Structure 1
Amino acid sequence: MRRNPFEDIEAMLDRLNQQIEEGMTSGGLQVPGSVPVDVVDTGDEYHVTADLPGYEIDDIELTLSEGTLRLEASREDEEKTAEGRYLRRERTRTSANRRIRLPEPVEEDEVSAGYQDGILTVRLPKVSNEEESRRIDIE
């Protein structure tokens, strides 16, 4: 019996489809050069946690503009090792970035960030919609 040449293609497409579905259910597919983040809505504020291993605080730029948090990190690439030559080199990425659109406005003056052990944490308090109520006298 003759082999169907499309079976291999169908199997490959099935594997690709499964990988995409698994990536979507686990929070999305990782884009090269992109920073993996978690965004949590606690009710009063957003907490953004980003993995940035190997970067120093001075390597990271964090800005907030028009409801978008922008994170950029870059570091100098080491040209050679101190004691020899590279046999394998996989850690060459020297910059990473991510833009996160926030669903609600935040108090820009109250945003805070911390960085420890390669993890950046940003707290973004939401704008309070509650205005102080004032009694209105009826005449």
Structure 2
Amino acid sequence: MRRNPFDDLEDLLDRLGGQFEEGMGRDSGLGLPGGTGIDVADTGSEYVVTADLPGYETEDVDLRLVEGALKLEASRDTEATDEGGDFIRRERTQETVSRRVRLPEPVDEEGVEATYNNGVLTVTLPKLAGEDGGHQIDIS
């Protein structure tokens, strides 16, 4: 029996996106616009997502569960101090991060916890068979 080539299209796109992000990652020196370093761990009973967001405040970060995925958006506007000189290089004026992490299994939306400490966001998502839907996550 021939396999339908479109059955695994979503997995293929995830793998290609991951390879693209790796190729544009920190080691290459190129940087991925709108990207940030994210780790996703499966501890058996929960998923733990860790994201590097240095320089952001918790008010700058919007974190949601939407349709079986964790959606992270952060935006900041850094006002550079003009000390009477001209900029030789200016890269810190505004930065926006947007990431979406597809979760392999449903999670307990009410049990999700998020903390932000020293520029690192950690989101703990307990596994649970449940229904899809959007849910706002508070960051402490």
TM-score range, shorter chain: 0.5 to 0.7
Alignment of 1:54-133 (within 5 A): 54-78=55-79, 80-84=80-84, 85-127=86-128
SS of 2:22's partner is: coil
Spell out, residue by residue over 1:2-50, the C-alpha distance to the aligned partner (whole angstroms, 9 max, x if none). xxxxxxxxxxxxxxxxxxxxx84xx833332112100000000000000
User: Percent of counterpart pairs with the same letter?
Assistant: 56
**Is structure 2 residue 27 aligned with structure 1 residue 33?**
no
Match of 1:18 in 2: none
Structure 1 residue 128 displacement after superposition: 5.9
SS of 1:100's partner is: strand
CA distance in 2, matches of 1:109, 1:55: 25
Match of 1:136 in 2: none
- Structure 2, unmatched stretches of 5+, are 1-17, 26-31, 131-140
Query: Are the equivalent residues in 1 in contact too, given 2:77–2:94 (CA < 8 A)?
Result: no
Considering fraction of residues, name the structure with more strand: 2
Larger Rg: 1
> So what's the TM-score if we normalise by structure 1?
0.67
The one-letter code matched in structure 1 to 2:33 is P
The one-letter code matched in structure 2 to 1:114 is T
Query: Are the equivalent residues in 1 in contact too, given 2:105–2:129 (CA < 8 A)?
Result: no
Query: Are the equivalent residues in 2 in contact too, given 1:33–1:93 (CA < 8 A)?
Result: no
> So what's the TM-score if we normalise by structure 2?
0.67
The one-letter code matched in structure 2 to 1:41 is D
Query: Are the equivalent residues in 1 in contact too, given 2:78–2:92 (CA < 8 A)?
Result: no
- Where do 4+ consecutive residues of structure 1 move more than 3 Å? none
Spell out, residue by residue over 1:108-127, the C-alpha distance to the aligned partner (whole angstroms, 9 max, x if none). 01000000110000000000
- Structure 1, unmatched stretches of 5+, are 1-22, 130-139
Structure 1 residue 93 displacement after superposition: 4.2
CA distance in 2, matches of 1:42, 1:128: 16
